[in-house]
Amino acid sequence: MKTSPKSPVIQGGSPGALRTHTIPRLGTGIARKTMLIVLAGLILTLMVSSPVLAGTKYMSGSPNLTVSIVGNNEFTPGTTVPLKLQVQNSGLNQIKFVQSGIVDTDDKPSTAKMVTVSLLPGDSPILVKSDPQMIGDIQGSQSTTASFEIRVPDDAKAGRYTLPVVIDYTYLGNAEQEGTDSIIYRYVEKKQEIDLPFVVESAINLDVTNVTSDNIIAGGSGYITLTLKNTGTDAGDKAVANLSRSGTSPIIPVSNSVYLGTFAPGDTVEAKYKVSVSKDAEPQDYPVAIAVTYENTDGETVTTPSQKIGVQVGEKVDFTVTSEPPEVNPGKKKTIEVTYRNDGSATVYGAEVRLSAVDPFTSSDDLAYLGDLEPGQSVVARFGVTVDADADAKTYGLDSEVKYRDALDDSHVSDTIKVPVNVVKAEGLAALLSSPVAIGVILVIILGGGYYFYEYRRKQKKQ
């Protein structure tokens, strides 16, 4: 008989006797299953039984807000500028507890919540044009900005001022935990006023009280005279008034700087500038810009804000032929008369007109002097023209141009002006006289008649 393998086990017995007892060995598959079940249980236990997390409680701390101007805090009179303020929170959370059972709060005591910034003029001359600004929450060690538009009046006196800045905000004063799952928040509302240093620089204030123009027409040159007044409370030394083109304006300064010297409060000066005007300018007002650069009482070079002024541009010089088309016969030479009218808005000087003769015309006298023409004035020009004998009977357009000088003695040439001329066939006696055959017949008749009369007279004398 066969038996399964046995494992020896030592058991107790009578003294001096050694007995053996066999137990059956477990199969390897059962052992592995048992170990996997034990490990799975351990892992499940670890996952379910996680440790209790610790909470944080702040015992003290509050916001600490300060305000400063971003950039330069010096401004000139007569300007409207954006004023950017930086609001900094330097508040700290001073005491903090961390332990299990504490529920974390939503806010920290050092956070300024729902911050609103208001800028006031105080005793300064400025005008605040913006409403209070809501800038949200500011955490400790953080900052944000608020922007205001301010106007420094023209008559603002130079000096140092303070602008009151009022900040309204809320912060967490206390958080009281009840039980393990609820907190009672107690918030504190606070209003804080901070004085902000603000400097108005020594400056003049430029005012253009009058604008006059001379010969400002499209395609020409002329003068602009500006009356400038210092309406501020400070004087400017070594002042220079600079005229500049405004954008794409057709008015372009030729001479753009006039030295004013000392420009004291209440002073009025005139500055005259030569300008040119583009040929395609329409008759309307166009802008130019004027600014004054000077030294203030601190020795600094300052430029006033640029001011735009309107200048009237008149009609460009234009000539129109107002006479009826002259008539000429083929094969004839004739002096034609053409009336030219100045349809521009300025007087022209020393005008002369040239006629361009083209086939079938020729001319030995194609230049006529017109002289000085005021706006709306007309003058007659005379030209000698010859028309070819085989020219067609119709209306022809001859080109002419007027050369003239403006009020500044600058030379100009007008656009091409069409001169209509009618070529017509001769009629009646004129047509008869223009025919070579007819002329020959007439000559024969005249000669024959003369010969007959001569013979008749001779015979009468013999009798």
Report which listed range, 29-38, 51-60, 231-240, is most confident: 231-240
Q: Are strands 133-138 and 112-119 parallel, antiparallel or unpaired?
A: antiparallel
What pLDDT, on the 0 to 100 scale, is given for residue 59?
Answer: 56
319-425 has the same fold as 55-200: yes
Q: How far apart are CA 91 and CA 391, in angstroms?
A: 103
Q: Which helix (H) or strand (E) holds 135?
A: strand 133-138
CATH architecture of the domain with range 319-425: Sandwich (2.60)
What pLDDT, on the 0 to 100 scale, is given for residue 448?
Answer: 73
pTM, rounded to two decimals: 0.59
Q: Half-sphere exposure of residue 446, counting CA atoms within 13 Å on the CB side?
A: 6
Q: How far apart are CA 73 and CA 57, in angstroms?
A: 42
Q: Which residue has the tokens 């600004």?
A: 133
What pLDDT, on the 0 to 100 scale, is given for residue 159?
Answer: 87
User: For residue range 309-360, what is the model confidence (pLDDT) as tens digits?
Assistant: 999 998 889 999 999 999 999 988 999 999 999 998 889 999 999 999 899 9
What pLDDT, on the 0 to 100 scale, is given for residue 95?
Answer: 57
Question: In terms of Cα–Cα distance, which of 162, 152, 160 is closest to 77?
Answer: 152
- Using the predicted structure, report yes or no on whether residue 49 has a pLDDT greater than 70: no
88-111 mean pLDDT: 68
Tell me the three-class secondary structure of 344-370, residue by residue: CCCCEEEEEEEEECCCCEEEEECEEEE
Q: How far apart are CA 303 and CA 201, in angstroms?
A: 12
Q: Concatenated DSSP letters for 301-355? A: EEEPPPEEEEEE-BPPP-EEE-SPPPEE-TT-EEEEEEEEEE-SSS-EEEEEEEE
**Whole-number mean pLDDT of the chain?**
83
- Using the predicted structure, report yes or no on whether residue 51 has a pLDDT greater than 50: no
Count of other CB atoms within 10 angstroms of residue 422? 13
- Using the predicted structure, report yes or no on whether residue 226 has a pLDDT greater than 60: yes
User: For residue range 117-148, what is the model confidence (pLDDT) as tens digits?
Assistant: 999 999 899 999 999 999 999 998 899 999 99
Report which listed range, 112-116, 232-236, 408-412, 434-438, is most confident: 112-116
What percentage of the chain exceeds 90 in pLDDT?
Answer: 53
pLDDT grade, residue 15 (50/70/90)? Answer: very low
The tokens for 298 are 């601190």
Question: In terms of Cα–Cα distance, which of 168, 134, 131, 165 is closest to 149?
Answer: 131
* Residue 239 or 18, more confident: 239
pLDDT grade, residue 33 (50/70/90)? Answer: low
- Using the predicted structure, report yes or no on whether residue 417 has a pLDDT greater than 90: yes
The residue extents of the domains of the chain are: 7-48, 55-200, 236-312, 319-425, 428-463
Superfamily of domain 55-200: Immunoglobulins (2.60.40.10)
- Using the predicted structure, report yes or no on whether residue 107 has a pLDDT greater than 80: no
Report which listed range, 98-112, 186-200, 424-438, is most confident: 186-200
